[in-house]
Amino acid sequence: MDAFVLLVLVTLKGGGLPMVNFVKFPDIAACEERADQLSTVLVKGGYQVLERACVMGIQHFTPHRHRKSKGDKGKPRKAPPKYLYLVALSGERVLAMPRHDREACVREAKERAQKAAGQQGGVKVRYYCAVSDQALIDDRDYENMRRREARRRYQEHLQKQRMQQRQRMEPGGKTAPKRP
């Protein structure tokens, strides 16, 4: 299992459970730069940033979609699905554990935090029960998703080449072939 840098943002706006978002980066420097930008925007938007960490990750998540795309104009925005996680953050690692019961998740986060606070000399682990619009993807599904994305980009590339070739072949184009 390959590790990578993961930006973990735990935010709170109003009451209720915190939100957690996960963003993958190639290196720590890129992660920290983006974390600064996002934190500034979130604070200006009225969010409280509870946790902002660039850590090593081994779990993959679906992309976070925070805006409507161009094709969504005029359509009512559906509420994104919410996934419940018990998030454990240490100084250099993160683990998101899916949960289904909100009250049990909150209770477990408090119990684990109290137990971690009582331990001396160990790595301090912070626990959050948080919701996210990002689903956890298992490794096999992640590899399939990467292949589909690479295939989609390749198809777009081919289509672009064909369009350019057709434009050149049209009458009045620069390289229109001569007919015998």
Q: For residue 111, what pLDDT band results from cuts at 50, 70 and 90?
A: very high
pLDDT at 64 over 90: no
pLDDT, average across residues 84-95? 90
Q: For residue 158, what pLDDT band results from cuts at 50, 70 and 90?
A: confident
Q: Identify the residue with better confidence: 173 or 93.
A: 93
Q: Identify the residue with better confidence: 137 or 179.
A: 137
1 CB neighbour count, 10 Å cutoff: 5
Q: Identify the residue with better confidence: 141 or 131.
A: 131
Q: In what order do the strands lie in the sheet with 83-89?
A: 48-57, 4-12, 19-25, 126-132, 83-89, 94-99
In whole angstroms, what separates CA 82 from the centre of its chain? 14
